[in-house]
Structure 1
């Protein structure tokens, strides 16, 4: 079951178009409209013969980088005349700028920096190459930034909430496990949403967390999974770029697993419940089309583009359900999906309490996407402290 419709070209193109419509402006975390279009001669990315994509990990990681790589290949298919350049295992440091500059030297006037830690390098490259459209995946940018830069992302915590429902229904111990990378907003909101989804159908469910301080370190992942399983966790999920290690360890232990970033159900034929996976094809293709047509203006006024269930075009899709998910649970998830897409729906609709029982979001309050991206606390029911 997919949790959103295919993105409309018109809406997604509005991310980078010369003049954002009122509807599109409402879907950004920024508050100001985009500037007037650049002149055709100087428009970033106009007529680009090549597009570059950098990934922080390998393209076959059953996770974050694999999904982004698949999006790059959709661009190659949609634009046979565009040379698609890709680079794997690009660190989140000055090496990222070096790799992007090498792609620009090969003709790329559109660059996708796809990891959270690539932001600084992306902004640096954008400042040095005003004729290149540089798009970064996952961050919020604030302050003065180059006009040829921008960010994009989907509301990942919405499908994670839905996966939490499957976990809450499946658990027998009422102990869920979450292996996360870094204590940044994206991981915090995912953990919180997962717990709230589980608690919505099972008030006794608790989510135990372990951090790895790495996007992809199989040794640390194996240790974290073993730690959680020893505590009696019987459903395990994660926010890691490479997902195979945790999924295989959970399957070997005879427990349930919830995936993230990509469909890895083949790794857990018995224990797979469901998951959230990226489908970047339409968005990546629209961004390239918009830039090549000379309509890219980026986000110099802090207009960070976000799409989700409320906008009808979240790039996340629900991963396939495993054999342990019954019809009643699927119906519960479908009902919740509809609710989240409504004006009154949200994984964080109040009241929301933190671990100490303090009300952070009052009853009757439905935070918007921008407010959710500022959540920096674990909610009630999460076991483990932020560093």
Structure 2
């Protein structure tokens, strides 16, 4: 699976040289591998903002370098090897499909630290993993969707059928259903992380079926642009970044991935000698998942309801996956009052009861 099929080998050397190849030896070099372009307006854009936060935090004590548009697979392994050979002290690999290449290259360069986003494999002591609890933000969005739909049809554009995406779909649906028992969910799989044309086609197909609230787990603003063509009849949400250019509608809120604090913390730990292997999974309470402004296109009472969900999650008094919840086939998953273990979420490969359709294999 690819977040983006584009790699210019000639540009690789230029990107890796950013900041000056002949920089002082006492600088810490932090490097970032991106699956899309830094101008995608979503996922990669937010990771790059985090990289720039590292530069701001440490000034001339740190050098940052990055490579955009790196496909998941063999190309990623070549890029990571180049980075390790090029003097990177810590390398952040920012897409799920970089998991195996990250671990393969890390074994060859034990003195370089590798940090993999959204993955679960840590096969060497120099590999750490980090993620964000995006499903918490989906609970807020689902609440808004369930209240705001006029057709009782809501939609979700999925990228790839991995646990990160499936748990978001389930959370979105459960919270829409909680406030609107008549709601129906349409899922369209785009099988891409970043492809504005495919994302727009997915949104258009749902709108033609009567869907009037769209969430997405892809990286561009294309679904919002398509919603904007519906003359105020369709709303949606910013994904990964605020996508504020579409406020106050169709973008009525957003999930903002806030990677800066984590990047600053990890690079800082490497610089001061306190760095240790880690497996981080923070959410709203930890500040890695931010809920963008809920605009005045949403009635005050719905806004208050959504903000309460956000605040209860932040306070630790509410978990988006709290039973009773059954699986799609009707079998019991969570009993009354039981909350989902992290292991169930991180390995989630099923829809909850009420969602129609199959998860692609």
1:39 counterpart residue number: none
1:253 counterpart residue number: 230
Does residue 126 in structure 1 map to residue 106 in structure 2?
A: yes
| Deviation, structure 1 residue 289 | 0.5
Instruction: Describe the SS at the equivalent of 1:382.
Output: coil
From 71, 74, 85, the counterpart of 1:91: 71
Q: 1:205–1:381: 8 Å Cα contact kept in structure 2? A: no
Does residue 272 in structure 1 map to residue 234 in structure 2?
A: no
After the TM superposition, which residues 1-387 of structure 1 pair with which residues of structure 2 at under 5 Å, given as runs? 49-81=28-60, 82-141=62-121, 145-241=123-219, 243-254=220-231, 255-299=234-278, 304-309=279-284, 312-341=285-314, 345-387=318-360
| Deviation, structure 1 residue 343 | 5.1
The structure-2 alpha-carbon separation of the partners of 1:189 and 1:208, relative to structure 1 and needing over 3 Å to count, comes to same
Instruction: Describe the SS at the equivalent of 2:215.
Output: strand
Query: For 1:337 and 1:274, how far apart are their aligned partners in 2?
Result: 12
| Deviation, structure 1 residue 101 | 2.3
TM-score normalised by structure 2 residue count: 0.88
Task: Between the two structures, name the one with larger relative contact order (CA 8 Å, sep ≥ 6).
Answer: 1
Query: For 1:124 and 1:79, how far apart are their aligned partners in 2?
Result: 30
Instruction: Describe the SS at the equivalent of 2:156.
Output: strand
The structure-2 alpha-carbon separation of the partners of 1:236 and 1:125, relative to structure 1 and needing over 3 Å to count, comes to same
Query: For 1:344 and 1:327, how far apart are their aligned partners in 2?
Result: 23
Q: 2:31–2:83: 8 Å Cα contact kept in structure 1? A: yes
1:28-74: CA deviation from partner (whole Å, max 9, x where unpaired): xxxxxxxxxxxxxxxxxx96521100100011111111110100000
Q: Which runs of 5+ in 1 are unaligned?
A: 1-45
1:213-259: CA deviation from partner (whole Å, max 9, x where unpaired): 11112222222112111110001110012x21111001112311122
Instruction: Describe the SS at the equivalent of 1:179.
Output: strand
Instruction: Describe the SS at the equivalent of 2:89.
Output: strand
1:69-127: CA deviation from partner (whole Å, max 9, x where unpaired): 10000011111121100110011012112222222333211100011111111111211
Q: 2:27–2:63: 8 Å Cα contact kept in structure 1? A: no
Q: 1:262–1:276: 8 Å Cα contact kept in structure 2? A: yes
Larger deviation, residues 181-190 vs 329-338: 329-338
The structure-2 alpha-carbon separation of the partners of 1:203 and 1:384, relative to structure 1 and needing over 3 Å to count, comes to same
Query: For 1:317 and 1:249, how far apart are their aligned partners in 2?
Result: 24
TM-score normalised by structure 1 residue count: 0.82
Aligned length: 333
Query: For 1:266 and 1:89, how far apart are their aligned partners in 2?
Result: 24
Query: For 1:78 and 1:356, how far apart are their aligned partners in 2?
Result: 50
